[in-house]
Amino acid sequence: MERITLGQLLDLADSHMEEAESARRAGTNRQGVVRELGRVLSAITRCLTWPAGDAQVEVIAGTLGSRADRAKAGLQEALRQAGARIDAVRADLGGPAERSDPVAGHLAAAADALNAGCDLIGTHYGTRLGNADETPSNWARLIASEPVTAALRAEMARRAVRCRVWVDWLASQAPDYARTELDAARRWLTAADSLMPPGGEALTEVAIGEHLLRDVPLAAPPDRRIPTGSESPAELCTGITISADRLRVITSAVSSQDCSVTSATGPSWSHAARAAAIVSDLAARELSMLAGREASLDRLGVNGLRLRDAVNAFAQSCAAWQLASQLWRHVTTGLERPASATTADLDDLVLRMGRLASGNPRWTPARRDRAPGPSPVGLRPDELAAVLAAVHHAADALAWMASADLAMITAFGDRGYLYMPNRVLERPDASISAYVRLPEDRLVMLQDAYLTVANASHHAVRELDDLAIAVNAPSRTLGYARRLLGAGSSAPADGARGELDADAIAVRLMRFTRPSTGGGRARGSELDTLAVIRAYRDERQTLDQCAARFGVGPRTISAILQEHGVPRRRSTAGSSPRPVAPDAAPPAAPGSPAKPERGFMERRLLNAGIADSNLLARAAAFDKAADSFLAEAVITTNVLEPQTSQERKPRDPAAAAPALAAKDSPQKLRASAPAAPSHQGDPAQRQSLAPAGRKPARAPGRARRTS
């Protein structure tokens, strides 16, 4: 399936409208024209229904919606009225329509193209039947944004106004009673003209909206294109873009799945982290090569230093993914599938990025296939822009994947679906096959590693956003989209990014694989550690603010930060807080007390990026019940909780019941793990990163887990 965009369909409609105008003559069948003109107007009206708006009358009347909503609804209504008037005169304008008439044929094709455009937009919104499985696509928010809806309104109004010449032509040959209707249709079209969005205001935003509108693709991912081994650089760039498109769509779909049905597993996350590290490394190499082409860069008006910044950003991204892959050596989900929905596309991405960076069309990661090809003599500006766009797309897909992985890993960890070898964690002499549930401090470390991955990946792609726009690269849509929606679209907070070199990786890995001492802070309060780290490091809250927010003393916050290697800041009194991640709990206002109403369950949901009000209300109910239960327990056993003004225990029922939690731990985790779907997946998707010609890796067996 070739990538098709709304712009292509609009251009197709325009070309047919032009053909129809140039083919119009005295003998043209008027009824055919009337019928198809009505369809054109109907298609334009349909296009204006996106994004779906309710209560049309109230919107037009001004009691609902914004000014833009009213303009859109007014335009829609004007076109509907014009279409109705034209339909009304169909029977009065000569004999039946002839399919062979070229004018009517072109108008019909224009209507078809516009209807297809409308359907294409609709693919981003599902069926609108309230099906819970349907999630709006990544583009849905963009299409609903004001600049894009304004651009859609302008595009459709322009085409509606163009229909006036046809109404005039029909009116000039129509009997009086039909002319009255056509005059009314003309007046409605004139009204539509007046509802066109004004130009000139916020020109940049208008231009961005127009560009994004034309680039709206079909929501379905393009078909996979398997690397052939003889692809030209241009074909490699196209292939990379296709893989990135597919990864974005698939990642988005997978991240919205429940843990028990998703195809993501420990081995597949491990594979994804390795592939992403390789792609980031290759991207850094490719950009470094581009940075050396000063002549081409000068012609494009790009400063080589900006590319150097991007190279550094990709080096950090590579290191972060490498760390994640190292952690997965010691963590498993207990499911045997090594391949997930993204595995094949990641492998394609690795191959093509390697081939592009090395200049060797047969490059594979295998030692014997990785020799670089001949260095290209020169790179035309358009070729340079294409390469930059391909890298940009790859980076964007990895950033999506990082955010989705972080969310999924959090969900898996919260459900207790992650395991670690007992010999690493507790007893070095334990059986190889003995696994225990991932302790919460390790879960926090894993989450923190993925937070680093997500930050680094988003930073890398943002470095390329501006470059792509500057050189007018085909991928500038990504940059425009991020500008329009803001970094919060899928990115975590742009928190502090310490350099992640080999030593830092080794330290984190050592901390991750150290034996569990069982001491320290109580189990159950550990998940809050991530929130503490986020609040201190990413939201730039002070120790006191964190202490107030989490209901503990500053020394506890300090201990948590030290334990997790988070560097302490000097006093930041008076500094403004950094941007907050969309999934982070809102920071407490300086000087204000923490929100005591946020209970443990509620905070866990918020930390996991879940803001659904129903779920939060249920979590609050759980918290309230837990509080009551604890109070009752304290009263009935006549034991007072230790509590001082400095170090109040967090209001966490799980922290008070470690013994209960231990009793719940399954002896045979096989039974509690999510069911393993059939191993017989799509063979294409099971292709590994093996060199060409190798048979794909087969899955290992299901892990036997005993605690």
Q: Verify cis geometry, omega within 30 degrees of 0, for the bond prior to 700.
A: no
36 touches 21 (CB < 8 A)? no
| Residues 395-424 close enough to bind another protein by CB under 8 A | 423
Query: Residue 272 Cβ, how far from another protein at the closest point, in Å?
Result: 11
DSSP-assigned letters across all residues of 363-395: --SSGGG----PPPS---HHHHHHHHHHHHHHH
- From the list 138, 149, 326, 342, which residue makes contact with another protein (rule: CB under 8 A)? 326
Binding part of the chain for another protein, among 8-16, 429-437, 458-466, 606-614 by CB under 8 A, reads 429-437
Q: Is 667 among the residues that bind another protein (CB under 8 A)?
A: no
Q: Which is nearer to another protein, 433 or 646 (CB)?
A: 433
Query: Residue 219 Cβ, how far from another protein at the closest point, in Å?
Result: 32
- From the list 128, 380, 555, 695, which residue makes contact with another protein (rule: CB under 8 A)? 695
Query: Residue 506 Cβ, how far from another protein at the closest point, in Å?
Result: 10
Sign, CA dihedral 84-85-86-91, equals positive
- Amino acid symbol at 471: V
Q: Which is nearer to another protein, 105 or 338 (CB)?
A: 338
- Amino acid symbol at 308: R
Nearest to 446 by CA among 330, 601, 609, 568: 330
Task: Give the Cβ contact number of residue 190 at 10 Å.
Answer: 13
Q: Which is nearer to another protein, 326 or 477 (CB)?
A: 326
- From the list 191, 578, 690, 707, which residue makes contact with another protein (rule: CB under 8 A)? 690
Q: What is the spatial distance between Cα 682 and Cα 341, in angstroms, rounded to a whole number?
A: 9
- From the list 141, 214, 308, 370, which residue makes contact with another protein (rule: CB under 8 A)? 370
- Amino acid symbol at 581: A
Q: Is 374 among the residues that bind another protein (CB under 8 A)?
A: no
Tell me if residue 90 falls in helix, strand or coil.
Answer: helix
Query: Residue 69 Cβ, how far from another protein at the closest point, in Å?
Result: 50
Binding part of the chain for another protein, among 110-118, 149-157, 324-332, 648-656 by CB under 8 A, reads 324-332
The half-sphere exposure of 572 on its side-chain side, counting CA atoms within 13 A, is 16
- Amino acid symbol at 261: V
286 touches 391 (CB < 8 A)? yes
Query: Residue 690 Cβ, how far from another protein at the closest point, in Å?
Result: 5
417 touches 259 (CB < 8 A)? yes
Q: What is the spatial distance between Cα 157 and Cα 168, in angstroms, rounded to a whole number?
A: 17
What interhelical angle do 67-88 and 176-194 show, nearest 10? 160
260 touches 408 (CB < 8 A)? no
Q: What is the spatial distance between Cα 114 and Cα 39, in angstroms, rounded to a whole number?
A: 9
- From the list 92, 193, 369, 544, which residue makes contact with another protein (rule: CB under 8 A)? 369
Q: What is the spatial distance between Cα 248 and Cα 120, in angstroms, rounded to a whole number?
A: 18
Query: Residue 328 Cβ, how far from another protein at the closest point, in Å?
Result: 8
- From the list 165, 220, 261, 371, which residue makes contact with another protein (rule: CB under 8 A)? 371
Q: What is the spatial distance between Cα 616 and Cα 495, in angstroms, rounded to a whole number?
A: 26
DSSP 8-state symbol, 210:
H
- Contact track, another protein, 329-348, x by CB under 8 A: x--x-----x----------
- Binding residues for another protein, how many (CB under 8 A)? 52
Query: Residue 330 Cβ, how far from another protein at the closest point, in Å?
Result: 10
535 touches 586 (CB < 8 A)? no
- From the list 372, 515, 593, 683, which residue makes contact with another protein (rule: CB under 8 A)? 372
Residues β-bridged to residue 332: 419
| Residues 266-295 close enough to bind another protein by CB under 8 A | 267, 270-271, 274, 277-278, 281-282, 284-285
- From the list 67, 367, 568, 663, which residue makes contact with another protein (rule: CB under 8 A)? 367
Q: Which two tokens stand for residue 564?
A: 């997790």
Binding part of the chain for another protein, among 36-44, 73-81, 365-373, 463-471 by CB under 8 A, reads 365-373
Task: Give the Cβ contact number of residue 321 at 10 Å.
Answer: 30
Q: Is 433 among the residues that bind another protein (CB under 8 A)?
A: yes
Binding part of the chain for another protein, among 69-77, 98-106, 300-308, 691-699 by CB under 8 A, reads 691-699
209 touches 151 (CB < 8 A)? yes
Binding part of the chain for another protein, among 11-19, 65-73, 442-450, 699-707 by CB under 8 A, reads 699-707
Q: Which is nearer to another protein, 567 or 693 (CB)?
A: 693
Q: Which is nearer to another protein, 319 or 560 (CB)?
A: 319
Query: Residue 338 Cβ, how far from another protein at the closest point, in Å?
Result: 6
Binding part of the chain for another protein, among 110-118, 514-522, 567-575, 690-698 by CB under 8 A, reads 690-698
Query: Residue 509 Cβ, how far from another protein at the closest point, in Å?
Result: 9
Residues β-bridged to residue 435: 421
- Contact track, another protein, 501-540, x by CB under 8 A: -x--------------------------------------
Q: Is 698 among the residues that bind another protein (CB under 8 A)?
A: yes
Q: Which two tokens stand for residue 184?
A: 């009314």
Q: Which two tokens stand for residue 22?
A: 């140039």
Q: What is the spatial distance between Cα 12 and Cα 460, in angstroms, rounded to a whole number?
A: 37
Name 131's Cβ contacts closer than 8 Å, sequence gap at least 6: none
Nearest to 57 by CA among 74, 81, 78: 74
Binding part of the chain for another protein, among 367-375, 390-398, 517-525, 623-631 by CB under 8 A, reads 367-375
Q: Residue 517 phi/psi, 5° resolution? A: -85, -20
Q: What is the spatial distance between Cα 103 and Cα 22, in angstroms, rounded to a whole number?
A: 9
Query: Residue 667 Cβ, how far from another protein at the closest point, in Å?
Result: 15
Q: Which is nearer to another protein, 267 or 551 (CB)?
A: 267
Query: Residue 239 Cβ, how far from another protein at the closest point, in Å?
Result: 17
Radius of gyration of the CA atoms of the chain, in A: 30
330 touches 273 (CB < 8 A)? no
DSSP-assigned letters across all residues of 192-210: HHHTSPPSSTTHHHHHHHH
Query: Residue 261 Cβ, how far from another protein at the closest point, in Å?
Result: 22
Binding part of the chain for another protein, among 35-43, 250-258, 430-438, 536-544 by CB under 8 A, reads 430-438
Q: Is 427 among the residues that bind another protein (CB under 8 A)?
A: no
Tell me if residue 572 falls in helix, strand or coil.
Answer: coil
Binding part of the chain for another protein, among 225-233, 384-392, 513-521, 682-690 by CB under 8 A, reads 682-690
Q: Which is nearer to another protein, 354 or 474 (CB)?
A: 354
| Residues 168-187 close enough to bind another protein by CB under 8 A | none
Q: Is 700 among the residues that bind another protein (CB under 8 A)?
A: yes
Q: Which is nearer to another protein, 81 or 317 (CB)?
A: 317
Binding part of the chain for another protein, among 74-82, 143-151, 252-260, 364-372 by CB under 8 A, reads 364-372
Question: What does the binding site for another protein look like in residue numbers (CB under 8 A)?
Answer: 267, 270-271, 274, 277-278, 281-282, 284-285, 315, 318-319, 322, 325-326, 328-329, 332, 338, 350, 354, 358, 365-372, 423, 428-429, 431-433, 502, 688-691, 694-695, 697-704
